[in-house]
Structure 1
Amino acid sequence: MNSCRNLLLIGLFVVALAPRTFADEPAKKSLPIYRVDASDFEASEADIRAVCDSAAKQLWRHFPEYDLEPFVVTRGKSGPIVLYQRNDMREIVLKLDTSNTFWSQYAYQFGHEFCHILCRYRPSDGKNLWFEETLCETASLYVLRSMARDWKKSPPYRNWTDYRDSLRDYADDQIRKREHVREIHASGLAAFYRSHAEELRKNATNRELNGAMAVVLLARLEEKPEHWEAVRWLNETAAPKDEALTAYLARWYAAAPEKHQPFIRDVAELFGHPIAVAKPAGNE
């Protein structure tokens, strides 16, 4: 069984590193309401907006019926973050810690923080926050790779077409440098989580661990990107204190629509915490 599981994981990583094309794209929809405060970015508001629009579109296209609170993109200088507290205009504050024209870094950071907003992020005791952080690291990679495909034909500006290679290279570099991916290859994701569970529950933002697990999830979400929508129910209900991972994933499963439940169940099994599903009445 272990050898079969490892072969499956290796296959997933191969898929994650290969170019993807999607025959059926969801219908276009308006982007959520947000503004850009270009102060201190040392780049134009229009250019920052163009990058953020492109990054947001890669995920937002998979949320056909979803209303978000307005948010503002501002310059941060202690790491990218989405604040829990709204500003005086009742906006969510999304901070990017980048500047100038490092568009790949803008996109990478925006993808992560925008995913937190899509997850309906909320304060908790943080014991399972590592899972949301891993999803958001997955979003960063997904956004960059999707933007690279989009910009091949439809860049924000005609003279940005060649920048698609930089977007893809940035994503590939992030994947390559996650050395813990080798450990997942060797032992499987469930064993990897067991080995690092204590650290993850103490430090939700261990980027080396988050990033390695994100490579596995990236393959699943590039294959079936419609399941990005499942994250909107991740924090539908408040987490009890010291909640076990199995209970956390089961609570997500119960909150999500039926169309996303097989995906959530699949992810839970990857982490070695299968969700118990009640059999229909009358079945043995």
Structure 2
Amino acid sequence: MNFELNEFTNIPNCYHIFNFVNDSQFESTCNVVNVSQFESTCENLIKEMSFYFKQASFEGLKILNPNPNGNIPQYFYSDNIIYLTVWDGIRESQIIYQLAHELCHYFMKKGIKNDELKYFEETVCDLSSHFFLRNKPQKIHKVYDDETLMNITEIDLSYSTSYDRYNREQNTYIAKLLLPIFEKTPSLWSEVPKLADIEASTIGKLLDLWKNKATAEHKKAIQEIQNIFK
């Protein structure tokens, strides 16, 4: 079967492809997503995150599945493409988990400028996965969300430490600490794109400048984020 780029039904100029590979073994045991389910799940999440991030336009964004570059989700700023890796038998939860992370990168455009602080961008995008999964019924989020956060190893966080951008366990632990702050003040997501406009040499300076850029209602929440570092 050939698959073509499709425009989302309710999001103009935003496109998707879901290359579904049929597998009868998976079909007999799992809730297999299909093209229409893929579109509706992506579309609903795009609308939800658009509301929280205060972003209205998705001009030319493409969400493609699978990723020809490998078995990992990715966002390419230069091409305005999000690649997912959703396979047969995968539930709605994995679509949300992957897409929420990559859409967070999309809303941050080129992302945090300093490569040494990219771990904080990855952390916030990891947080996005957990936050938006938790907005769904428990049957959707419990596998990817609850088990991951319950079993994560604690680490000591320091302003002076340079953390590895792609250390998922470390990033997820920080995301776990950020989650209650964002759940208490969900409008804080509207401040996240501002992180991409900041020139900073350390995480301390990044958070200070972010707090300065933030509206008055969000300064306290960002101060709580600063407090998790020592």
* Aligned partners of 1:235 and 1:252 also within 8 Å: no
What are the within-5 Å matches in structure 2 for residues 47-196 of structure 1? 47-64=37-54, 66-74=56-64, 75-76=66-67, 77-86=70-79, 92-102=80-90, 103-122=92-111, 124-148=113-137, 165-180=139-154, 183=155, 192-194=156-158
Tell me the equivalent position of 2:26: none
AA of the residue aligned to 1:231: V
Number of residue pairs the alignment of both structures matches: 207
Higher relative contact order (CA 8 A, sep 6+): 1
Q: Which runs of 5+ in 2 are unaligned?
A: 1-9, 23-32
Task: Please give the alpha-carbon distance, in whole angstroms, between the structure 2 residues aligned to 1:106 and 1:246.
Answer: 33
Distance 1:126 1:78, change over 3 A: farther
Q: Secondary structure at the match of 1:193?
A: coil
Equivalent AA in structure 1 for residue 86 of structure 2: T
In angstroms, what is the RMSD of aligned CA positions? 2.6
C-alpha separation between the residues in 1 aligned to 2:105 and 2:12?
14
Q: What whole-Å deviation, never above 9, does each CA across 1:110-146 have from its counterpart, x for those lacking one?
A: 1111111122333744100111111111110111111
SS at match of 1:194: coil
The 3-state SS of whatever aligns with 1:82 is strand
| TM-score, structure 1 as length reference | 0.65
Q: In structure 2, what residue type is equivalent to 1:143?
A: F
Tell me how far apart the structure 2 counterparts of residues 195 and 250 of structure 1 sit (CA, whole Å).
12
Indicate the SS of the match to 1:78: coil
Distance 2:210 2:12 in 1: 24
Separation in 1 of the partners of 2:55 and 2:128? 19
Classify the secondary structure of the residue corresponding to 1:175: helix
Q: Percent identity?
A: 21
Please identify the structure whose Cα radius of gyration is greater: 1
Q: 1:223 to 1:55 in 2, by over 3 A?
A: same
Q: CA 1:56–1:68 in structure 2 vs 1: closer, same or farther (change >3 Å)?
A: closer
Structure 1 runs (4+) deviating above 4 angstroms are 30-33, 40-43
DSSP 3-state at the match of 2:44: helix
Q: Return the TM-score normalized by structure 2.
A: 0.78
Asked whether 1:197 is paired with 2:161, we answer yes
Q: Provide, for residues 71-123 of structure 1, a one-character-per-residue CA deviation record: whole Å limited to 9, x for no partner.
A: 1111213311111321xxxxx11111221241211111111111111223337
Q: Which runs of 5+ in 1 are unaligned?
A: 1-29, 87-91, 149-163, 184-191, 273-284
The alignment status of 1:45 with 2:35, answered yes or no, reads yes
